[in-house]
Chain A
Amino acid sequence: MAADLKFSGENRKSSLQQLVRAFEDVKREAEGVQAKGQPKAPIHRVVLIHGERGRGKTRLAIELYRRLREREDPAGYWPEFVPKDENQDQASLTPRAEDCTYAAILPFLWWGIQAQAGYNPGNALFATLDKLKPHLVTMRIAHRRSQDGRSTAAELADVATELGMSIAELGLDVAGEVIGAGSLKRIAESMWRIGKIGQERLRENADPAGEGDRHAASVAEEVLADLDRLLNPKSPQFAHRPAVILIDDAQFADQDRPLAGFVELLIKRSARGRWPLLLLITHWSRNLDDTETAAGEPVPRSLVAQVLERVRQVPAPGPAWFGPPPTAELPETCFLQVDLNDDVDLRPALADRYKGIDPVTVAAIAEHAGGNPRKLEQIVEIMDLEDHWFEDHDPDRDLTPEGVEEVLTLSRLDIDRVADRRFRETPSGVRRSLALASIAGNRFVVDFVDKLANACLAEGARPQMEEGESRYYLLRDIRDRSRNDIGGFSERLYFDAAGRYRRNARREFKDWPDDETLFARLDELLGCLVDDPDTFEGLQPEDLAFALSVAAERMIALEDSRAGLALARLVSIENGRGNYEGAYDAANRFIEGFRP
């Protein structure tokens, strides 16, 4: 998200206050709980932040991060959340390890998981593990450090020695204060591989470079086991610190059943273990209840909505029950709903962004934007590109009369038209590449789109997509190939805008193929991938898993029996990279269509 607006209207302030209070409840309990004694009521808090698209659900969660950072993290372990950072857009809800300050003691754990639209089972959880692991290690040593005052480097050196790793090779400066993220990540990876992040004693002869002895059958179970050791007050490794876990866009877990399963396990495990956990779930309001399509077809509530309903139910004791009365896994006292569907007062955010604009103009623009933060963001993006709308081309000054007219015209449009307008602001090469990318979906393998462009338009698309990310913020994750080659539209709005544009692209480009031809080319590429993935050199396992998921979906829709092979390959890839839940889901889809 490029337009880094701070929506600090009174109504959002009160919602933020609710989140802060929930965090304080959890933190107070974390400090107060004793390791001994009988099991008591759960101390976790689960907050469901719901609203329609564009209402600022994720933004509210990020505001909580900022607030906690200011109030709870004076030593600055956690970095500022900078959405404009090319490597840290809104989809990256956990800060990068490289941006954290490890000389400071971790004050609370923050972990964000972005549910993703489209079939890519288990990936949302699996893809965030690398970001989580270093913080689990610093959490493990946080309590001891706060008591004995030792440095992170000294603690990590002990851990590395116990693991049999070479301190010199790790590049650990034991006497210094600066801890390289690379060293920490390597230690975290070794500990994870042998299943010892949360365990009290490390094996002296563990082979950190080997396959390890973590016999994982479930990524979720492994993460939960480590969290239990660090967050359960009865564990010797209890970190005496609260944790905040954010599940963003949870409605998309309908296509990622393992993620919905993880949410359920997380709530149950945190209840039983009395973890000091604040779980934030953002969710579209419309999917919280059973609905119908326009044609009258029933649409059940989302999987995560069903999970929340289940865990809030008090189990029936049964005729032969003995012991204390049963309670819900998520008692009502621990559950909070924040409804963001009311209009936001956008004036303060706009005035804060453009300090030179006349307050009357600000009020008029805000009124026309209809209290929709996302729409205002789109307008601001365009205003940033059109500096001639400002006096002396200076966005710190007031708008010219023509500029006022332009902005008010924009703000009268509906949000999709504003997005279309933004789309049209881009150079033709960018527009063509984005229109082509929209064939592959809201998320796509960049190399695939590049190959598609070569096949359909006799030109590559990567440089144009990179420009679409760096200059126009319409795409994300194109330029950063450090982990994978999966990119995507930064907003669903732009994916939709690109699709609308694509269908009419021939008006502008005479050589533009029709959709039938484009999809046929895409299917050819997917078919080649399924027949022999080795022909696509350079794709990482994560890219392959995603591409095979797309292929399976397409082939099932097209009634192509190679869907079975696509799913079988997906099972193999997911097992190979350790995304076990993804493998289970694909295997079960395989058997659903299997007829020997």
Chain B
Amino acid sequence: MTWSLEGIPNHLADQVAETLSRSGNLSGAGRIWQALYDRNRGLVAADPTNTGWQRDLAVILDRIGDVAVARGRLDDAADAYEKGRAIAERLAAAEPTNTGWQRVLAVSLNKIGDVAVARGRLDDAADAYEKGRAIAERLAAAEPTNTGWQRDLVVSLNKIGDVAKARGRLDDAADAYEKGRAIAERLAAADPTNAEWQRDLVVSLNKIGDVAKARGRLDDAADAYEKGRAIAERLAAADPTNAEWQRDLSVILERIGDVAMARDHLDDAAAAYEKGRAIRERLAAADPTNAEWQRDLSISLNNIGDLATAQGRLDDAAAAYEESRAIRERLAAADPTNAEWQRGLSVSLNNIGDVAMARDHLDDATAAYEKGRAIREHLVAADPTNAEWQRGLSVSLNNIGDVAMARDRLDDAAAAYEESQAIRERLAAADPTNAEWQRDLIISCVRLAETGRAPRDNYARALEVAERLQASGRLAPSDAWMVEELKRRLSQSED
């Protein structure tokens, strides 16, 4: 027995699809929305002046995009959101006073930005987020008592900050996050019992801490994280059975540990990491089937491994990394199609390789790095458009090059570094605004030069990139030494 959408009104079909989506049946939801799109496109074509149908079509496209994102189909998502944006723009332009359509457009823009970020297109993302912010600001200014508009503006500002941070524009990022924090603080102060608003403020403080840390302002970072911790502790204490709040607290403790590590306050870092680990162990034990909580615990173990490495306790570090690897192996084995679990396992293998290198166990290091590389090659092959996977592979190749260097196998090292450099050149060219990728390219050029391959060319290329970053204000303060050092190396190198 089969049926189609014939005789089924739009609102009912939409509700069935939305219900399927909530129940986790994304492909089913996508099929219905696609069928609805096909049907409504015909109606819109027949009567382009009917704004109701236009709006329905924009909403359906938004839903199709959401499902595509959830299924990891970024090209399909971008296509749907762009079509939706075009309709929303027409509607908003035709009736600028209609706040509903303005908001539909702002949401569309944010989603386009999110997909652009996932595809590594930061310029496109920044462009979309800025447009979304402009609308959100207008709405919030027009109706300051509407907490929904205010909250939308916080979301927009956070997204703009995220992109600025990824592009190395840390001042811009800090500026956006601070503006978001100011609004979040007002909302939280207006209703201290509203846990969601308190939580928004924690998110803002975390982001401010992150950017302060990236700017090397560790005291500011610690200050922001501590403020966030105070709120998160209150929420967690108010309802110890609320796992999400417990998890929020563990995330802040992890950040506090990171900043303490960066300040070389290793005892403080240990205390924070251990508290975070204790929370995550409780959560993971309470529900061993919750993969996210298992993953959180593996991150805590990695942090503890990093701390032990910093303290020179390499055996302890190796043990923590191995524990983390065991969890990630279980996760990856339980769901081999989950790319995030695979990536997590490759990170653990890299950590194990790093400790083995530090202990001069070069065979163990090679084994771990090679396993990591194999996983990352597999990820890249499965989705060549994913910039994150490409970058991960380049890191693995650099690690393999490092081991070869330690063994004085300069040709092997050069081969690995060259492969890595090729990937990083591609990424850097694809998005010259991504400061992290530019920095990666500098490292690859330096490594290759150190093997004796075209040292002048490689140092020159590295210097060119570093100077460009510096000129645009995107060279991180902690990397300020790079330009002078590269100049020195270039002057001493020979062809």
Is A572 within 8 A of B2, CB to CB? Answer: no
**In the complex, A88 has a CB within 8 A of chain B:** no
- Minimal beta-carbon separation of A571 from chain B (angstroms): 5
Assign chain B's interface to a size class.
35 or more
Highest count of chain A CB atoms <10 Å: which of B12, B28, B193: B12
Interface flags, A3-18, vs B, CB<8A=1, else 0: 0000000000000000
Interface on B for A, CB 8 Å cutoff? 1-8, 11-13, 15-16, 19-20, 22-23, 25, 28, 31-32, 34-35, 38, 191, 193-194, 238-241, 285-288, 323, 325-327, 329-330, 333
Query: Which of A326, A564, A591 touches B25 (beta carbons < 8 Å)?
Result: A591
Q: Which of A195-203, A389-397, A475-483 contacts B (4 or more CB under 8 A)?
A: A195-203
Q: Which of A92-100, A174-182, A227-235 contacts B (4 or more CB under 8 A)?
A: A227-235
- Minimal beta-carbon separation of A582 from chain B (angstroms): 10
Q: Which residues of B contact A217 (CB under 8 A)?
A: 22
4 closest residue pairs by CB, A with B:
A564-B3, A591-B28, A320-B326, A584-B23
Q: Which residues of B contact A400 (CB under 8 A)?
A: none
A562 vs B1: C-alpha distance when bound (angstroms): 10
14 contacts between A and B (CB under 8 A): A203-B193, A232-B241, A236-B240, A318-B333, A320-B330, A559-B1, A561-B3, A564-B3, A565-B8, A571-B16, A580-B22, A587-B19, A591-B32, A596-B4
Query: Which of B35, B191, B240, B286 touches A39 (beta carbons < 8 Å)?
Result: B286
Is B16 within 8 A of A587, CB to CB? Answer: yes
Highest count of chain B CB atoms <10 Å: which of A234, A567, A583, A591: A591
Q: Which residues of B contact A580 (CB under 8 A)?
A: 22
Is A228 within 8 A of B3, CB to CB? Answer: no
Is B240 within 8 A of A234, CB to CB? Answer: yes
Interface positions of A from 222 to 247, Cβ below 8 Å from B = 225, 228-229, 232, 234-236
A225 vs B243: C-alpha distance when bound (angstroms): 11
Is B2 within 8 A of A318, CB to CB? Answer: no
Is A272 within 8 A of B287, CB to CB? Answer: yes
Is A318 within 8 A of B330, CB to CB? Answer: yes
A561 vs B8: C-alpha distance when bound (angstroms): 11
- Minimal beta-carbon separation of B77 from chain A (angstroms): 20
Interface flags, A177-218, vs B, CB<8A=1, else 0: 000000000000000000000011101110000000000010
A137 vs B113: C-alpha distance when bound (angstroms): 46
- Minimal beta-carbon separation of B145 from chain A (angstroms): 15
Assign chain A's interface to a size class.
35 or more
- Minimal beta-carbon separation of A129 from chain B (angstroms): 19
Is A569 within 8 A of B285, CB to CB? Answer: no
- Minimal beta-carbon separation of B285 from chain A (angstroms): 6
Query: Which of A318, A587, A588, A595 touches B3 (beta carbons < 8 Å)?
Result: A595
A326 vs B333: C-alpha distance when bound (angstroms): 18
**In the complex, A426 has a CB within 8 A of chain B:** no
The secondary structure that dominates the B interface is helix
Interface positions of A from 295 to 327, Cβ below 8 Å from B = 318, 320-323, 326
Given contact pairs A203-B194, A562-B7, a sample of 7 additional A-B residue pairs in the complex whose CB atoms are under 8 Å apart: A39-B285, A572-B15, A587-B16, A591-B16, A594-B28, A595-B2, A595-B4
Given contacts A232-B241, A571-B15, A587-B23, contact A594 B32 (CB under 8 A): yes
- Minimal beta-carbon separation of A566 from chain B (angstroms): 10
A453 vs B79: C-alpha distance when bound (angstroms): 56
Q: Which residues of B contact A204 (CB under 8 A)?
A: 193
- Minimal beta-carbon separation of B211 from chain A (angstroms): 31
Chain B residue at minimal CB-CB distance from A596: B35
- Minimal beta-carbon separation of A120 from chain B (angstroms): 17
Q: Which residues of A contact B288 (CB under 8 A)?
A: 326
Is B15 within 8 A of A565, CB to CB? Answer: no
Is A568 within 8 A of B12, CB to CB? Answer: yes
A302 vs B13: C-alpha distance when bound (angstroms): 32
**In the complex, A590 has a CB within 8 A of chain B:** yes
**In the complex, A563 has a CB within 8 A of chain B:** yes
Is B287 within 8 A of A200, CB to CB? Answer: no
Is B193 within 8 A of A201, CB to CB? Answer: yes
- Minimal beta-carbon separation of B187 from chain A (angstroms): 14
**In the complex, A575 has a CB within 8 A of chain B:** yes
A229 vs B327: C-alpha distance when bound (angstroms): 30
Given contacts A571-B19, A595-B3, contact A588 B28 (CB under 8 A): yes
Q: Which residues of B contact A427 (CB under 8 A)?
A: none
A568 vs B3: C-alpha distance when bound (angstroms): 11
- Minimal beta-carbon separation of B378 from chain A (angstroms): 20
Q: Which residues of A contact B34 (CB under 8 A)?
A: 596
- Minimal beta-carbon separation of B206 from chain A (angstroms): 23
Is A568 within 8 A of B1, CB to CB? Answer: no
A568 vs B17: C-alpha distance when bound (angstroms): 10
A199 vs B326: C-alpha distance when bound (angstroms): 37
Interface flags, A315-358, vs B, CB<8A=1, else 0: 00010111100100000000000000000000000000000000
- Minimal beta-carbon separation of A46 from chain B (angstroms): 19
Chain B residue at minimal CB-CB distance from A561: B3
- Minimal beta-carbon separation of B443 from chain A (angstroms): 33
Is A588 within 8 A of B238, CB to CB? Answer: no
A229 vs B240: C-alpha distance when bound (angstroms): 9
Is A588 within 8 A of B241, CB to CB? Answer: no
**In the complex, A556 has a CB within 8 A of chain B:** yes
**In the complex, A463 has a CB within 8 A of chain B:** no
A556 vs B2: C-alpha distance when bound (angstroms): 9
Query: Which of A234, A318, A575 touches B241 (beta carbons < 8 Å)?
Result: A234
Q: Which residues of B contact A321 (CB under 8 A)?
A: 326, 330
**In the complex, A593 has a CB within 8 A of chain B:** yes
Q: Which residues of A contact B239 (CB under 8 A)?
A: 199-200, 229, 236
- Minimal beta-carbon separation of A258 from chain B (angstroms): 10
Is B25 within 8 A of A588, CB to CB? Answer: yes
Q: Which residues of B contact A200 (CB under 8 A)?
A: 238-239
A323 vs B19: C-alpha distance when bound (angstroms): 39
Given contacts A272-B287, A568-B16, A588-B28, contact A563 B23 (CB under 8 A): no
Is B285 within 8 A of A596, CB to CB? Answer: no
Is A594 within 8 A of B241, CB to CB? Answer: no
Is B23 within 8 A of A565, CB to CB? Answer: no
A201 vs B194: C-alpha distance when bound (angstroms): 11
Q: Which residues of B contact A587 (CB under 8 A)?
A: 16, 19-20, 23, 25, 28
Q: Which residues of B contact A318 (CB under 8 A)?
A: 330, 333
Chain B residue at minimal CB-CB distance from A531: B7
Q: Which residues of B contact A595 (CB under 8 A)?
A: 2-4
Q: Which residues of B contact A596 (CB under 8 A)?
A: 4-5, 31, 34-35, 38
Given contacts A318-B330, A587-B25, contact A571 B3 (CB under 8 A): no
Highest count of chain A CB atoms <10 Å: which of B5, B20, B38, B285: B20
Given contacts A318-B330, A564-B4, contact A272 B19 (CB under 8 A): no
Q: Which residues of B contact A594 (CB under 8 A)?
A: 2-4, 28, 31-32
Is A564 within 8 A of B193, CB to CB? Answer: no
Given contacts A568-B8, A593-B1, contact A584 B32 (CB under 8 A): no
Chain A residue at minimal CB-CB distance from B19: A587
Is B31 within 8 A of A584, CB to CB? Answer: no
Is B8 within 8 A of A201, CB to CB? Answer: no
Is B15 within 8 A of A568, CB to CB? Answer: yes
Q: Which residues of A contact B6 (CB under 8 A)?
A: 561
Query: Which of A39, A201, A572, A593 touches B238 (beta carbons < 8 Å)?
Result: A201
Is B19 within 8 A of A565, CB to CB? Answer: no
A588 vs B29: C-alpha distance when bound (angstroms): 10
Q: Which residues of B contact A568 (CB under 8 A)?
A: 8, 12-13, 15-16
